[in-house]
Structure 1
Amino acid sequence: MNNLNDPPNWNIRPNSRADGGDGSRWNYALLVPMLGLAAFRWIWSRESQKEIEKEKEACRQRTAAFQRDLEARYHATISESRRAVARLSLELEKEQNRTTSYREALISQGRKMVEEKKLLEQERAQVLQEKRQPLRSAYLSCLDKEADWQRRARLLLREFEEALAERQSIYCSLVLPRGRRLDIEKGLLVRASTDPLAVDLEMAAGLSDIFKHDTHCGGVWNTSKRQNGRLMWLYLQYWELVVELKKFKRVEKAILEK
């Protein structure tokens, strides 16, 4: 409201400019703070936007660095896994080659034993033809004696075969205790070193070879013990040939000593 006691020019009149007065200075007094507030708001918004962009850029850089670190670790892990797989594959190949060489050596030895057996049979036939009756009775007598030795040796091999099949079955099983297999192996090695027949057949070295290298299993659902193992069956065939060969050698030795 206007104060009637004040001079006229001190009162605020809306139309003072139209009347030729200086009331416009009050309008300028209101305009300046508003312009200052608008300028401050514009400056503050611009600075805030800069800070936001700066934080976004820093966040992107941290994310990129973290991603690079993860990728480096991932590639390092993959490389290490590949090296481990390559190393294990090489060791497996070496083991397979070693087993193959053992198998081939046994097969070759078995063939030699068969050839020696044939030669001995030929020599025996030749001796029989040359000496006929005088040696026939002695030969048959020695053959009967050695047949008993052969029977006991084959019985021993059957017992070893059952024990080896049981041992291999435990080796291939996921539930049977490992200690039981070790007990069987220990018992077989002790018997191979103490039983005269086993010592004569030199079975201890073959058993150690089987325990060390025969890792073949028939499969998860396999229920037949004869499907497990490979090297052990080759050795059993080899020992049977040794029994047959030693029988004839013992007969030959007995005849020559008479």
Structure 2
Amino acid sequence: MSLLSRKPQRRTALAYYATPTSDLENCACAPRRAPVKGEMDVIGVEGINKTVGPLYWYSSMNNLNDPPNWNIRPNARADGGDGSKWNYALLVPMLGLAAFRWIWSRESQKEIEKAREAYHQRTAAFQQNLEAKYHAVISEQRRAVAQLSLELEKEQNRTTSFREALISQGRKLAEERKLLEQERAQIMQEKSQLQPLRSVYLNCLEEGDDWQRRAQLMLKEVGETLVERQNIYCSLVLPRSTRLELEKSLLVRSSVDPVAADLEMAAGLSDIFKHDKHCGDVWNTNKRQNGKLMWMYLKYWELLVELKKFKKVEKVILEK
């Protein structure tokens, strides 16, 4: 539908401002006009120069119900009038908005630059801190690696020394084992060679033990006779003839008994009868407290019996 077919409507000043300029210029009811000298350039919010044209009024757009002074006339000055107070009504808000936009943009840019600079500073400080920590960690790890390498080298050297010591000890033990095996073989060979002598030694030892038992029995009897003889010698009431008979019997036995003859007891008995004059005190009732030399001879004869036994065994083995 074209603009000519529309019904004319009553428009106020605000409705006229809301109508696009292109529609007003293309409208058939609006007269064509040349550019007016009163046009002015205003910087919009977006920073683009926009041309605000003069106010065109059509007679049907005035509110005829209102008084004439209240109507907004488009160009009253061209007719020689005083003009309208609404001609520059939007200039101050638009200039204020543009100034606010410019100031706000500038302050925002300053804040952005300040925030960017603070961000760069924080980033640089954080990066420096990270680099310092990284270098510190790397240095610490390098020191730890160096220390561990030194300890590892020490452990390797100690392990090598232990291994060498074990090898040398093993060789030494092998040599000692070889020597022990040789000695064992030699001992076994000697044992096999001495096996016949073992039976001879055992037989001689049995014979020596038998001779030792007979000699000890004889020494026991001789000792009891000597104790009785010394008791008679120390007694004040027992007859002297009894002592002489005991001495005579001991001398005869020492010359007749082969064991006594081996021990050469005759010379010892003669020495006892001649020199042993020791007696206990007057009130002594223990016979074994009398005499000194006879006890020495009895101990000597016991040791001589032990020696004679091994001498006999040695003699038999050497003869074999």
TM-score (norm 2): 0.39
Higher RCO (C-alpha 8 Å, min separation 6): 1
Largest Rg, 1 or 2? 2
More helix by share: 1
TM-score by length of 1: 0.49
